[in-house]
Structure 1
């Protein structure tokens, strides 16, 4: 029996730029494109991935670290961009009309052998969405820039064979750090970002037994520590491989299957 697999990597993850690759053997998508076209291509080449496989970009929300690479990438590679109307307006993106596609919450979009479903999330943007990317029986979740773990996040997390999950800040580091009070409150106020503790609680309570990979994403440079957060999750003693996605470079490519191979 042939076992279906998906291949995933974080090309960059953090407030300086976000871009996540999910694909099968023949086609792929990017969730967000917050680094330059040149850097996106360079990192994919190092991983042995080809831009020719990328068939679309899906946009989670309009903040600059998620969209700044889009105009050049889509113009050069003639890629369609799936985006909501309000996100398009708020992001002030200069995109040729023929490449714009609209997506609607909970309505799957089919890209070759991939099925992409968006659902709303809690974040301080106009129409923020998380995504589930599926192929056959394999489900990959992209869950970053989330103020709190709502019911929809929990529902989808329970179905993931792998997930990109935000672990943005350590509560003590944020509280004692140099950020002004208003910014601290924006981050932890329910429409900002997930803390290490919130992410860990989601993982503890709702991780499916078959989850093989967890990519901890969107770590704050000032309010978190990669070694700290990796240890926090690794000490849970699960079979899930814990990876911390970097703010400065790509991760390895991980093969995710419905069954271990």
Structure 2
């Protein structure tokens, strides 16, 4: 009774998350190229033949860059809203385009994928939870504010990808222009380390075995800083900082509060 998860890439240069079981999997977002997606999955011992669908959270390029080629090459259905299609300028084959409705589960084999709205400066932004084999995984990135939707779904998760985009002091003192700083922390941008930590410490369920910290800013955050901050409050949850340069390991998430790290192929 388990699911396998990995971050293939996480950051403003591209986001792609893999969640699957022994026979089928989904990708949430496809923000790196098809070739890079394939290379990283191969290094992890994962097969694209198990991927049965792609779910797109919103239209920003770091979430859709590879979706057209991936969908065409592997004949994958892409679950996406019409507004996200239009604002992303995507030209997917019509037969591969599937819609979804917030709070209505989509069944992909034995996996159940449920979308819910979030605060972000996009046309119809959504986050997702993926459930199967008595395990629930959350994908919570590009979130402007820790709203009740995020909190309620986070409380259901055995493992989660949670955005920790920026350190408040680094953003304040950094080189970004004022308008961009305002956008990032203005309620429809991204979660700070402090906001993410508050979600984790206040709303973490007792059975959460694993937290992958995602979408770190290159300029306004530090992986070492985030790791140290969350490790102090881990209380038995394995903390991993997802990289903007490479894939993480594959983690086997088991319902009984156990997380197993699988070895990578040589």
Bin for the TM-score computed over the shorter chain:
over 0.9
Q: Partners in 2 of 1:10 and 1:237 — Cα distance?
A: 20
Please point out which of 223, 226, 229 is paired with 2:223.
226
Q: Which consecutive aligned stretches of 4+ in structure 1 deviate over 2 angstroms post-superposition?
A: none
Provide closer, same or farther for how the CA distance between residues 237 and 20 of structure 1 changes in structure 2, counting only shifts above 3 A.
closer
Q: Partners in 2 of 1:106 and 1:158 — Cα distance?
A: 16
Relative to the length of structure 2, the TM-score reads 0.96
SS in 1 for 2:217: coil
Which ranges in structure 1 are unaligned for 5 or more consecutive residues? none
Q: Which residue of 2 aligns with 1:82?
A: 79
Which ranges in structure 2 are unaligned for 5 or more consecutive residues? 259-266
**Which whole-Å deviations, capped at 9, do the CAs of 1:197-235 have from their partners, x for residues lacking one?**
000000010001110000000000000000000000001
Q: Which residue of 2 aligns with 1:244?
A: 241
Please point out which of 169, 172, 175 is paired with 1:175.
172
Moved more, 132-141 or 214-223: 132-141
Q: Which residue of 1 aligns with 2:182?
A: 185
State the 1:237 CA deviation: 4.2
Q: Which residue of 2 aligns with 1:29?
A: 26
SS in 1 for 2:115: strand
Q: Partners in 1 of 2:47 and 2:36 — Cα distance?
A: 13
Residue 100 (1) aligns with residue 97 (2): yes
What CA RMSD, in Å, does the superposition of the two structures yield over aligned residues? 0.6
**Which whole-Å deviations, capped at 9, do the CAs of 1:60-107 have from their partners, x for residues lacking one?**
000000001011111111100000011011111011000000001000
Q: Partners in 1 of 2:201 and 2:109 — Cα distance?
A: 34
State the 1:260 CA deviation: 3.9
Q: Partners in 1 of 2:81 and 2:9 — Cα distance?
A: 23
Q: Which residue of 2 aligns with 1:154?
A: 151
Q: Which residue of 2 aligns with 1:65?
A: 62
Q: Which residue of 2 aligns with 1:43?
A: 40
Aligned pair count?
258
Q: Partners in 1 of 2:254 and 2:188 — Cα distance?
A: 33
Relative to the length of structure 1, the TM-score reads 0.98
Please point out which of 241, 252, 255 is paired with 1:255.
252
